[in-house]
Structure 1
Amino acid sequence: MVCQIGVVPPPAVDGRRHPRHEVAVGAAMRTAGQGRFGAVLQDLSVAGCRIVTSTPMHVGERVFVRLPGFQAFVGEIVWIENGQAGVLFDVALHPAVVDHICQPTTRR
């Protein structure tokens, strides 16, 4: 897993409430209408993430995002574009969880 702090513009620049951190980590996803499928997290914040997957999804769809070593993060697809999707988590992650996932030495 790779995390590059400072690569994604801070909230004041792009209008987001929480800073995003670039990552490249595999995730297991699940929706109510589909079985498990793979995805890659591209960025992460306490409020949500951006994923890349070839599996079709729909805005408003409920998803479970599972990273190795963590319980599933539950959320909703809020946008989709070119094989990427934005997930808004139901419950914000603790900043320490985001820091742990983004540690350059963490391998998942």
Structure 2
Amino acid sequence: MDKPFGFWTAVGGLGVLALITLVAIFRYPSTADATDVITAAGAVIGTVIGAFFGVQTGAAGRAKAEEGKDQAMAALVRVAALSDSGSPAARAAREAFEETPTSAVGDKAGE
């Protein structure tokens, strides 16, 4: 998600809430009725926008975790390739590489 899209999502939500506020003020003569409508609309709009940003933040965190996992796996492969194939470090690196599924981060996220 690019930053302007998130900004415009928040601005749009505030704009809709402002429009609902104006309509409620002129539609309902009682202050209590107008407040009820504005509060209900604000709760729904705030929840939807909050969920939108929560999902976007979670997706960004997952992408960063996947990138870190890929970098760690690449480093492990380089260590295994550069070390003596009979050394204990090379054997441990190969065993760790063979035991680690490539989608370990994704498998944990779905639990």
- TM (norm. structure 1) is 0.22
More strand by share: 1
| Length-normalised TM-score, structure 2 | 0.22
